[in-house]
Structure formats: structure tokens, C-alpha cells
Amino acid sequence: MALSLPTGTKVSVASTLGTSYAVTAATNAAETVLTVATGHGLATGDYVVVRSGWSLLDYRVARVKTVATNDVTLEGINTVNLDQYSAGSGVGSIQKVTAWTEITQIKKDGGLAVAGGEVKYAPSSTLDDPDDKQIPDGRSVTTFTMTVYDDPTLAWYPIVDAISEANTVSPLRMVFANGSRTLTNGYWSMAKTPVIASGQVNTLGLAFSATCRATRYTT
């Protein structure tokens, strides 16, 4: 058994993304292989944003495991289930995350909260059954809320501000003290007015709403 603490966790926003390249095929496999247009320049270890005809892969952030010319394997992205990943329907595009910028000065006590992502259930009881039943009905939206000490001169501030104002999607990465990491994609929002209280350091609120399921890596 291994236990971990939140202290040392680093949260980053994808500050720049590269050129988008077409994905012309996607395999149903324990780790899907994408056929990417020539000139993609992807390499092992790169983080990418995938747009896909498969809803469970669309907007997902993944790490490149191997590259063989135009065939790019995504680490940990299992598309075996044909009910969820219809054969031949995974085409779309891929974009490399070319830079991350850390969200610094997050409050240590209560400054980062994650909610949602759990399975939702729909009642499925029948009149003749005395016991209640329910069946899975997708997952709730995952949200992140962050309280940071206010300083508009920090490197991440104009990046998150621009993303928030444009209502565009940009990846989020959390790297934990044990080296594991979680990546997802979604909408960022940032308050323009800090929270002020006598005797307290001014703070600012950030929020993130995921548009896809998270991807987790142990290292």
C-alpha cells in the first residue's frame, strides 16, 4: 500500500498547442493506434489533444507511447469495446501540447478542490420487485476550483485570462508528489476581481470544467 499527500501537487495549463494534423484511421485496441498525416513530428513522450468521432476519445489528452512513421500509439487509451468505439469511426485530428505553464500560488489549505466524475444512476425498479434497482447512466461533469493568491503579474495569468475570455478549451495537468499525473481538457474561467478581507491576503478564483474523461499515468 502506498499513501500520498496533496502537498507538492503542481497544476498546469497548456499554454501553447502545435499544428493540428488529420487522423485518418484509429484502431480498436488495448492502446489505440492512430494513423496521422505526414509531417506530424510527434515523438514518444509527447502529450496530445485528440479530436475524434468517438465521443469517449474526443477532446481527450493522452501521451504518445510509440511512433512508427505515421502510426502513433496512445498510452493507456483502450478502445477495444466496439459498443463504445465503433469500428472505423475514430477519425479526426491530433494536436501536440507544446508548452505547459504552472498555476502558481494556489492556496495550500482548501485552495484546490475536485468534484464530479462519478457514475450517475437511473432508477430501474419494476413494480413486481420489492427491492430498488438502478443502472449506470454516464458520469457527471468533473470540475476543478482553485483559490490562488492574487497577483496579475504571474506568468499564467494572461494565459488563463485569454482562454477564459475566448471560451476556448485548453488542457489541464496535475502532477502529484509521487510522480503520477492526471490530464484532462476543458473550459477555464477566472474572476477579474480578487476576494478581499481585512487581515487576509487577497485571493482570486479559478474554475475548470472538463469536456472529457481524465487520463491517469503512474509516472
Q: How much is the pLDDT for 32?
A: 98
- Flag whether the pTM goes above 0.75: yes
- Which helix or strand (DSSP H or E) is residue 162 part of? helix 156-166
- Which helix or strand (DSSP H or E) is residue 157 part of? helix 156-166
Q: How much is the pLDDT for 91?
A: 98
Per-residue burial over 114-148, b if 16 or more Cβ lie within 10 Å, else e, is eeeeeeeeeeeeeeeeeeeeeeeeeeeebbbebbb
Q: How much is the pLDDT for 1?
A: 75
Tens of pLDDT, residue by residue over 7-30, are 999 999 999 999 999 999 999 999
Tens of pLDDT, residue by residue over 39-86, are 999 999 999 999 999 999 999 999 999 999 999 999 999 999 999 999
Tens of pLDDT, residue by residue over 94-140, are 999 999 999 999 999 889 999 999 999 999 999 898 999 999 999 99
Give the three-state DSSP class for 15.
Answer: strand
Burial group, residue 3, by CB count within 10 angstroms (0-12, 13-18, 19+): exposed
- Which helix or strand (DSSP H or E) is residue 165 part of? helix 156-166
How far apart, in whole angstroms, are the C-alpha atoms of residue 168 and residue 173? 16
Q: What angle do CA 85, 140, 187 make, to 5 degrees?
A: 85
Q: What angle do CA 165, 61, 22 make, to 5 degrees?
A: 90
Tens of pLDDT, residue by residue over 150-202, are 999 999 999 999 999 999 999 999 999 999 999 999 999 999 999 999 999 99
Nearest to 99 by CA among 39, 52, 176, 159: 159
Confidence of residue 2 (pLDDT cuts 50, 70, 90): confident
Q: Is the pLDDT of residue 207 over 80?
A: yes
Q: Is the pLDDT of residue 5 over 90?
A: no
Q: What angle do CA 165, 169, 175 make, to 5 degrees?
A: 110
The amino acid that residue 81 corresponds to is: N
